[in-house]
Amino acid sequence: MTPIRILLADDHAVVRAGIRQFIERADDLHVIAEAEDGEMAKRLIAETEPDVAVLDIQMPNATGIEVTRWVRAHHPKIGVLILTAYDDDPYVMAVLQAGANGYVLKTASPDEIVAAVREVNEGRSALDPAIARKLVSRLSGRPPPSDYDPLTDREAEVLTLAARGFTNKAIAVQLNISDRTVQGHLAKVFIKLQAASRTEAVMRAVSLGWISPDLPE
């Protein structure tokens, strides 16, 4: 089995060493590069093209939010997992709007962080349970459903499966459609829900009562 190639970016060397140690206990995960600031992270991502970039938010030279935006613009196939101590709403929303695939707190267990890396690599959304609950609560204050264009039945089906963690390929198999068609439906969903990422679209649809994924307690 080909290991999942990871870039780890955090401005604290001791933190990086600790994260790397428990990540590499998993046979299918391998840290191929480490960065101590945002600009170094961008350079190493361009050079090594990892499967997943694990980023802190607060870093010198470029924040994790800025690096995420850069990854989405230049290397859209690379998964981005934010691993941070910050759970403040502005950080969470900024990161998800920038296009991160996951957001996990450093208080999470090593097993939870490893699982989040795997989920992001598979194209799924990985949210810390506390962050998921905060997002649903925050988005519940958004404009009522009438302010958004309604989803078609097929778009709702696709988004519901996305909310359950299925990749585009898995969604395509379940609905007997092509990967490209799934991507097209999700693109329309993003526009209708004014969402900048898969995770944000799911959370907004949950807050509007349009889909009901099983959020962790």
What is the pLDDT averaged over residues 40-56? 96
Delimit the CATH 1.10.10.10 region(s) of the chain. 143-207
Delimit the CATH 3.40.50.2300 region(s) of the chain. 4-136
Percentage of the chain with pLDDT > 90? 36
Percentage of the chain with pLDDT > 70? 88
Between 84 and 216, residue with greater pLDDT: 84
What local confidence, expressed as pLDDT, does residue 14 receive?
92
DSSP per residue, the chain: -PPEEEEEE-S-HHHHHHHHHHHTTSTTEEEEEEESSHHHHHHHHHHH--SEEEE-SS-SSS-HHHHHHHHHHH-TTSEEEEEES---HHHHHHHHHHT-SEEEETTS-HHHHHHHHHHHHTT--EE-HHHHHHHHHHHTTSPPGGGSPPPPHHHHHHHHHHHTT--HHHHHHHHT--HHHHHHHHHHHHHHTT-SSHHHHHHHHHHTTS-------
What local confidence, expressed as pLDDT, does residue 41 receive?
97
- Residue 215 pLDDT exceeds 50: no
Q: What is the pTM of this model?
A: 0.66
- Residue 67 pLDDT exceeds 80: yes
Between 157 and 210, residue with greater pLDDT: 157
CATH 3.40.30.10 fits 143-207, yes or no: no
What local confidence, expressed as pLDDT, does residue 141 receive?
53
CATH class of the domain comprising 4-136: alpha beta
Torsion sign, CA atoms 178, 180, 181, 183: positive
Which pLDDT band holds residue 31 (cuts at 50, 70, 90)?
Answer: very high
What local confidence, expressed as pLDDT, does residue 52 receive?
96
